[in-house]
């Protein structure tokens, strides 16, 4: 859940303050800060939508907020430490304006529950990822002077009927969530505990949301889920109960390849992305569907975590390196110009130098376009924490991580060079960060492209750009 950057190692540590232009008569103000994955960003948009019906507009000015919401991440220890440090800053805010209420949402809220209220005295409200519909009641409790908490996980909640308020939007690309939760139980991962069991959203509500985005002139949607390839709609309910469904229900089920096909067919003018794919659920059908539709972006984020079969088994990733390479070969066969990106974990329990070398070897095989790389951070409550020892010294983890990042940097440079001299289609997102005389956009492969304005294009336009130069993170060119 991702940005195209090879430099950012810990991409998810920075909180993002989220606002939207809202011209409603709402009087109260909510300040929302979001940490972690794209799913969290999208959840914040759902929360903004729920709160706008309760009289709240978003604000970017912390001091004028009646309600401060922090959407938190638990994926690594550092993500939690960042949020705890951030909470300390609210001390002076509360002194200035004691009526300001502070709420924590998201994965930390779910993981720590009422302990968060005990440990963080400044916090008034704790809300888990499946409980956002209850916010109006929780806020009522706050207004009555009580602390409030709801961390119930749900078997059905997909917020299917709630149209997110697009926060910090460039007006060009938007997130649309298609699944919630995850059943995969990778032994290092806290997500199944904080986001609950996996469930899919009714495809008709997904199409409806994209229709609305199309009317508002959005040109790109990213279909979101912890594990999108495992998407399965058979009338509602948990993924794990599908086997028990009657035969006629099974016949009509919509899987991810079918959903992609439906979206790509109905919206030929919209570029479609998706994230994240788990190799064990990734099917040849998805690759074929991508090859069939020009408007499905040629990029697959396919985290592998390690290049060693022994470590993959310990991580409970249900595929081997050979099977993973097979998927890569198929992607290259059906979609030769497809970008592939990774997530890697350095220094998982018992990882030897030999295992680490296997990771580097796999990277050499794939030559990923970009990636997100992390040192293993043991998470309380996971199978990894219960049954395995966090036995790799910190400095060894960091050294291995550095080697992985350096190799990725080299491969990114190699992949970006391949675009030189080629003409690529770019969807313009807005001004380049460094110069108002240049546009910034992305090509189908998700590479950032910067080029001079000619005065004849605007954000949201698809334009042809000939690439003349590159760094490992950016392509430069000119319109043709």
| Cβ atoms of 463 and 457 closer than 8 Å | yes
Tokens found for residue 14: 């920075």
> Rounded CA gap, 439 and 463, in Å?
11
Quick check: 40 binds ligand SAH (CB under 6 A)? no
| Cβ atoms of 165 and 48 closer than 8 Å | yes
Of 191, 286, 302, 475, the one binding ligand SAH (CB under 6 A) is 191
Specify the residue, 42 or 227, whose C-beta has the smaller distance to ligand SAH: 227
Quick check: 317 binds ligand SAH (CB under 6 A)? no
CA distances from 230 to 233, 278, 319, 342, 450 (A): 10, 8, 15, 18, 35
Q: Which of residues 184-223 bind ligand F3S (CB under 6 A)?
A: 184-186, 189, 191-192
Of 44, 194, 305, 446, the one binding ligand SAH (CB under 6 A) is 305
Stretch that binds ligand F3S, among 2-10, 52-60, 62-70, 182-190 (CB under 6 A): 182-190
Cβ–Cβ contacts within 10 Å for residue 62, how many?
A: 15
Stretch that binds ligand SAH, among 150-158, 188-196, 204-212, 320-328 (CB under 6 A): 188-196
Specify the residue, 226 or 289, whose C-beta has the smaller distance to ligand F3S: 226
Phi, psi of 36 (to 5 degrees): 90, -145
The DSSP result for 297-318, as a single string, is -SEEE---B-S-HHHHHHTT--
CA distances from 285 to 218, 256, 445 (A): 27, 9, 20
Specify the residue, 205 or 227, whose C-beta has the smaller distance to ligand SAH: 227
SS3 455: coil
* From the list ligand SAH, ligand F3S, none, partner contacted by residue 192 (C-beta under 5 to 8 A by kind): ligand F3S
Q: Which of residues 266-285 bind ligand SAH (CB under 6 A)?
A: 276
Cβ–Cβ contacts within 10 Å for residue 294, how many?
A: 13
CA distances from 389 to 108, 186, 315 (A): 23, 15, 13
Quick check: 129 binds ligand F3S (CB under 6 A)? no
| Cβ atoms of 404 and 370 closer than 8 Å | no
Q: How far is the CB of 171 from ligand F3S (least distance, A)?
A: 30
Specify the residue, 227 or 349, whose C-beta has the smaller distance to ligand F3S: 227
Binding mask 222-261 for ligand F3S (x = CB under 6 A): ----xx----------------------------------
Through-space distance between the first and last CA atoms of the chain, rounded to whole angstroms: 32
Stretch that binds ligand SAH, among 95-103, 184-192, 326-334, 363-371 (CB under 6 A): 184-192
Stretch that binds ligand SAH, among 20-28, 118-126, 142-150, 375-383 (CB under 6 A): 375-383
SS3 274: strand
Phi, psi of 317 (to 5 degrees): -85, 125
Specify the residue, 302 or 465, whose C-beta has the smaller distance to ligand F3S: 302
**Total number of residues binding ligand SAH (CB under 6 A)?**
18
DSSP label at residue 153: -
Stretch that binds ligand SAH, among 186-194, 207-215, 309-317, 326-334 (CB under 6 A): 186-194
Of 29, 76, 273, 442, the one binding ligand SAH (CB under 6 A) is 76
Quick check: 341 binds ligand F3S (CB under 6 A)? no
What are the b/e assignments for 185-214, b being 16+ CB within 10 Å? ebbbbbbbbbbbbbbbbbbebbbebbeebe
> Rounded CA gap, 117 and 74, in Å?
16
Q: Which of residues 331-360 bind ligand SAH (CB under 6 A)?
A: 343, 345
Tokens found for residue 360: 């580097």
Of 87, 123, 182, 312, the one binding ligand F3S (CB under 6 A) is 182
Specify the residue, 147 or 318, whose C-beta has the smaller distance to ligand SAH: 318
* From the list ligand F3S, ligand SAH, none, partner contacted by residue 117 (C-beta under 5 to 8 A by kind): none
Tokens found for residue 130: 């499946």
Binding residues for ligand F3S, per CB under 6 A? 182, 184-186, 189, 191-192, 226-227, 278
Binding residues for ligand SAH, per CB under 6 A? 1, 37, 75-76, 188-189, 191, 226-227, 276, 303, 305, 343, 345, 374, 376-377, 379
């Amino acid at each position: 859940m991702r940005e195209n950057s090879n430099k950012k190692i810990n991409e998810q540590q920075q909180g993002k303050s989220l606002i939207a232009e809202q011209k409603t008569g709402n009087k109260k103000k909510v300040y929302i800060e979001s940490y972690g994955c794209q799913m969290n960003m999208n959840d914040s948009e759902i929360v903004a939508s729920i709160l706008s019906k309760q009289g709240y507009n978003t604000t970017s000015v912390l001091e004028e907020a009646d309600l401060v919401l922090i959407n938190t991440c638990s994926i690594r220890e550092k993500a939690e430490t960042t949020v705890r440090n951030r909470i300390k800053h609210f001390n002076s805010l509360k002194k200035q304006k004691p009526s300001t209420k502070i709420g924590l949402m998201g994965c930390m809220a779910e993981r720590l529950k009422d302990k968060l209220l005990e440990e963080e005295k400044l916090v008034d409200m704790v809300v888990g990822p499946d409980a956002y519909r209850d916010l109006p009641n929780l806020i009522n409790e706050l207004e009555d002077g009580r602390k409030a908490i709801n961390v119930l996980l749900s078997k059905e909640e997909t917020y299917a009927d709630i149209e997110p308020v697009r926060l910090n939007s460039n007006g060009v690309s938007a997130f649309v969530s298609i699944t919630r939760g995850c059943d995969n139980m990778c032994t290092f991962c806290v997500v199944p505990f904080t986001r609950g069991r996996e469930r899919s959203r009714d495809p008709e509500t997904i199409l409806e949301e994209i229709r609305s985005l199309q009317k508002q002139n959005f040109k790109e949607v990213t279909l979101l889920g912890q594990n999108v390839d495992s998407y399965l709609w058979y009338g509602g309910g948990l993924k794990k109960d599908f086997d028990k469904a009657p035969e006629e229900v099974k016949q009509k089920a919509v899987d991810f390849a079918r959903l992609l096909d439906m979206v790509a067919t109905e919206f030929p003018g919209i570029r479609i992305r998706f994230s994240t794919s788990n190799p064990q659920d990734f099917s040849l059908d998805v690759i074929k569907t991508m090859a069939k539709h020009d408007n499905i972006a040629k990029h697959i984020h396919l985290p592998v975590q390690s290049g060693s079969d022994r470590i993959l088994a310990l991580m409970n990733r249900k595929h081997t390196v050979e099977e993973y390479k097979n998927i890569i070969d198929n992607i290259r066969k059906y979609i030769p110009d497809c970008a592939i990106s990774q997530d890697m974990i350095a220094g998982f329990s018992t990882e030897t130098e030999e295992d680490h070398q296997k990771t580097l070897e796999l990277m050499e095989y794939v030559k990923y376009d970009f990636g997100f790389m992390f040192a293993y951070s043991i998470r309380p409550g996971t199978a990894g924490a219960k049954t395995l020892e966090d036995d790799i010294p910190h400095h060894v983890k960091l050294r291995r991580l550095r080697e992985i990042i350096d190799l990725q940097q080299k491969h990114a440079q190699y992949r970006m060079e391949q675009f030189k001299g080629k003409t690529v289609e770019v969807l313009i997102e807005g001004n380049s960060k460094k110069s108002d005389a240049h546009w910034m956009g992305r090509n189908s492969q998700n590479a950032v492209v910067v080029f001079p304005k000619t005065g004849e294009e605007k954000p949201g336009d698809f334009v042809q750009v000939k690439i003349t130069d590159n760094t490992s993170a950016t392509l430069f060119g000119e319109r043709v």
